Structure 1
Amino acid sequence: MVTEPIRPLSRRSLLAGMAALTAGGCAITRSGTAPRRPLGLADLTVIKPLAGDYAGTLKRVAHMGYSHFGFRLAGYSAADKSELPPAEKARLVRDAGLQVGVVRYGMGDNFAKQAEDAAAIGASVIALSAAPVFFRGRKLGETTRAAFDAWLPELGRMAETARALGLRLAYHNHWWDHVPLDGTTPLDLIARNFSPRDVAFEIDLAWAFLGGVDPLSLVRSLGPRVLAMHFKDVNPALGTDRMKQLVVPGTGVLDYPTLIPQLDEVTKAIGYVEVDMPKDGLAEAASAAELIQSARRV
């Protein structure tokens, strides 16, 4: 559990600190080759190709070197009926030679039902994309300490449901989770109020950066309660809209060739490439996989 708050850094400090990092090596086996680290892909990156050919897209993903595939359990709204059933998705994932990775709770259905689906398909981690209180204010990402505190018991009930089914519940961060509410950030409030066995984390490196936090320091500080990460990049030249700044790893300001070996030294969490607004999802998934695999071969 985190005992000290994660202190935001300035953008200049973040970039300077990351530039100063030195690449660490992977553990070497007796044969002299580095063991392959798992690498995941989040379905959002290839959401368009999946809609046209789910099975074929997964096979192409596996050919790129990905080992895990993370997907949402249901649509993002009750009206979204376009998603395949979770069991069908899991079958296609395994048929492609991939493992079922972190599954994401879709906000359009009740949590207990989706957690049951997650357990039935053999998932081990179910992720909550965001605290719903950040969508209820006047602006996206804004809430009050009172509203957040009032929501925490709901998170606790979700954790209990997941644990009873043999699942780990992971909370996914956004930039707003690093903005203090009456002196304490939402991420710290979750870490302090729940034990690691109840609530773990899926840390999005780009959102942490946009929240003013050094991604590597954040992952290190949370230790083994980080079960997964999202690998994406940030390009501030694309405007002031944070969502539009999110790009494929290797095309922004995060130094992934340096960052990946450092992350491999401090965590065993699986990283999932995720491109929120893909232009050519398959091409972007391929370039990200090559970048990360190359960083691990150095």
Structure 2
Amino acid sequence: MNRRTFLAGAGSAAVVGVALAAAPSFGAATGRKFGIQLWSVARMLSEDFEGTIAMLAGLGYRELETYGPYTFSDPRQIENWKKTAAMLGFSGSGFFGLTTAQIGATFARHGLTVPSMHTDLFTLQTRMGELAEAAHALGATYVTLPSLPADQRQTFDDYKRAADMFNAIGKDATRHGVRFAYHNHGYGLVPVGGKVPLETLIEATDPAHVFLEMDTYWSTAGGADCKAYLARYKGRYRMVHLKDMKGDHRFPGDGGAPSDWIGMFPYLTYLGDGSLDMAGIIAAAKESGVEHFFVEQDRADDLKVAIAGSAAYMKKIGFE
């Protein structure tokens, strides 16, 4: 079981004005588009795919990040998803029963593009050809690993081995005309023997083949300074998951266990409704070379209010 198991259902459709009032203005529009990780609305997509996509477009989202498994994913991940889906109470993932051409046409009809596809480690290792083919069909640049399996991040040496594995995956992705990216949660940020595992992993991977996706909430929960990481590893972070935090909180443990994530859910909120320096983080991300900004809402008391609030915030600060 992982944090994805705890998705909250959709709530009312009311659009809040709090984010608009709280968000700072950057003045002239940046011209940048903002997007959303589709896991945020997974249950809604399972119940009404086309209606949910239309709703996202209507709120101003212009980019999407998909999540797997897909029909072409490694069979082991497809089996894993069946077990997770049984707990979640819905089974939609990947292209939600549509062909690549059909889902691409649906997105295009609503003015949406897909820069990144989240996938699993098995598929990255055994189905890169099929994954890249789908990415090319949708116009996606990045094939992204949302987390490193727990059994492969237990020790500092595990992170060294992960770096070698990522280099191999990254080179394979490059050969297939896509880019491999790694999305880190809050684990790997506690020093071990004076060294931070995530930093060792980043520094041991080839910047020509391995890219990064930051999660503002989980990085903060793990004790990281998002702006400092973006500045230190300039050019490595190409995508960001944006989510806000009420108050200033950290994992009770090292961020590696589901209990750590569950304990942090009550503080999760939409952009502009929390206390993170979202404007500063976004400015640092732009300076660092981040290309895509995805809202992600792991849970919410009222999901539609949350994704509407985040969209309002992004438009307020100059995104299109």
Match of 2:141 among 124, 127, 131: 124
Aligned partner of 1:293: which letter?
Answer: K
- Which structure is higher in RCO with an 8 Å CA cutoff and minimum separation 6? 2
Q: Establish whether residue 187 from structure 1 lines up as the match of residue 198 from structure 2.
A: yes
Gap runs ≥5 in structure 1: 1-22, 27-32
**In 2, Cα distance between equivalents of 1:291 and 1:162:** 34
The 1:199/1:257 distance shift into structure 2, 3 A limit, reads: closer
Alignment of 1:171-250 (within 5 A): 171-235=182-246, 241-243=260-262, 244=265, 245-250=267-272
Q: CA deviation at 1:223?
A: 1.4
Aligned partner of 2:168: which letter?
Answer: R
Tell me, yes or no, if the aligned pair for 2:159 and 2:200 is still in contact at 8 Å.
no
Q: CA deviation at 1:199?
A: 0.5
Q: CA deviation at 1:196?
A: 1.5
User: Which shifted more, 154-163 or 255-264?
Assistant: 255-264
Aligned partner of 2:119: which letter?
Answer: Y
**In 2, Cα distance between equivalents of 1:193 and 1:86:** 38
Match of 1:136 among 146, 151, 166: 151
Match of 2:162 among 144, 148, 151: 151
Q: CA deviation at 1:108?
A: 6.3
Secondary structure of the equivalent of 1:271? strand
Q: CA deviation at 1:236?
A: 5.5
1:44-66 CA distances to partner (integer Å, 9 max, x unpaired)? 11112111121221111111111
The 1:100/1:86 distance shift into structure 2, 3 A limit, reads: farther
Q: TM-score normalized by structure 1? A: 0.77
Q: CA deviation at 1:43?
A: 0.4
User: Which shifted more, 49-58 or 228-237?
Assistant: 228-237
The equivalent residue for 1:256 is 278
Match of 2:41 among 32, 36, 46: 46
The 1:148/1:35 distance shift into structure 2, 3 A limit, reads: closer
Tell me, yes or no, if the aligned pair for 1:223 and 1:267 is still in contact at 8 Å.
yes
Gap runs ≥5 in structure 2: 1-23, 71-75, 83-90, 253-259
Aligned partner of 2:261: which letter?
Answer: R
User: Which shifted more, 111-120 or 183-192?
Assistant: 111-120
Q: Establish whether residue 103 from structure 1 lines up as the match of residue 83 from structure 2.
A: no
1:211-264 CA distances to partner (integer Å, 9 max, x unpaired)? 212112211222122110000122368995434243322333213355444544
Secondary structure of the equivalent of 2:180? strand
The equivalent residue for 1:34 is 29
Tell me, yes or no, if the aligned pair for 1:25 and 1:261 is still in contact at 8 Å.
no
Q: Establish whether residue 94 from structure 1 lines up as the match of residue 94 from structure 2.
A: no
Q: Establish whether residue 286 from structure 1 lines up as the match of residue 308 from structure 2.
A: yes
Aligned partner of 2:291: which letter?
Answer: A
Aligned partner of 1:93: which letter?
Answer: F
